Amino acid sequence: MNEVQRAKIVLKILNKTYPKIKVPLKSRNVFTLLISVLLSAQCTDVNVNNVTKNIYPKYYKPYHFKKLGRKKIERLIKKIGIFRVKAKSIYNLSKILIEKYKSKVPRSFEELEKLPGVGHKTASVVMSQGFGYPAFPIDTHIHRLAQRWGLTNGKNVVQTEKDLKRLFPKKNWNKLHLQIIYYGREFCKARDCYGLSCKICTTCYPNRKKPLKTIKA
């Protein structure tokens, strides 16, 4: 079985398991989506949602966060990991959006990735979930799963993104990214499946006997 055949199996199982999919991070607009994705680095979506549910009803525009200032932003997000670094990014990002983009979130990878605290993965999520642009955000979990399923050689997240974009139709990218995340959380967990027990792993590799070691992103 080659990688193209495995990709077809993955797509079939994921579409059957998750025919409809919800965006896990709660947001009020594209700006708050950007903030939530930034906050989700090294943090669970559940934790981010628990924190932002008390923020977004009142603060949901760049102007709001600029007016709050760094220290007040820190207090609002203190339950989230590396909150001081993230508060600084949110404050500076809000100022830039006001001064350079008329308080609007830019609609290009290049402009998004120039914003404080925004890397390629964050920009990809905003482009796909915020603007509906075909993108394939790759986090450490998708990187690990793509290796287990034989869709990439696992050198790094950049290579994994290229491989998945090559193997799957562009029309599936936005939904597929979320399907993989949900499937990994439910069926192909890092310290549970080990590439041996979930339906995708057993279908793609029926003869695999030993736990698969994956290369970290």
Q: Give the residue extent of every domain in the chain.
A: 3-21+136-204, 30-130
- pLDDT band for position 217 (cuts 50, 70, 90): confident
Q: Which CATH architecture has domain 30-130?
A: Orthogonal Bundle (1.10)
**Mean local confidence (pLDDT), 150-164:** 93
Annotation: CATH topology of 3-21+136-204: Endonuclease Iii, domain 2 (1.10.1670)
Q: If pLDDT is split at 50, 70 and 90, which confidence band does 65 have?
A: very high
Spatial contact of 91 and 75, defined as CB atoms under 8 Å apart: no
Burial string for 82-102 (b: 16+ CB within 10 Å, else e) reads ebeebbebbbbbbebbbeeee
Of the candidates 180, 31, 25, the residue with the CA atom closest to the CA atom of residue 107: 31
Question: Which is the catalytic residue, given 139, 199, 209, 210?
Answer: 139
Angle, CA 142 vertex, CA 25 and CA 55 arms, to 5°: 15
What is this structure's pTM?
0.92
Collapsing DSSP to helix, strand or coil, 39 comes out as: helix
Residues 24-34: tens digit of each pLDDT: 999 999 999 99
* 139 counts as catalytic: yes
Q: Please say if the pLDDT value at position 42 is more than 90.
A: no
Catalytic residue among 8, 121, 163, 210: 121
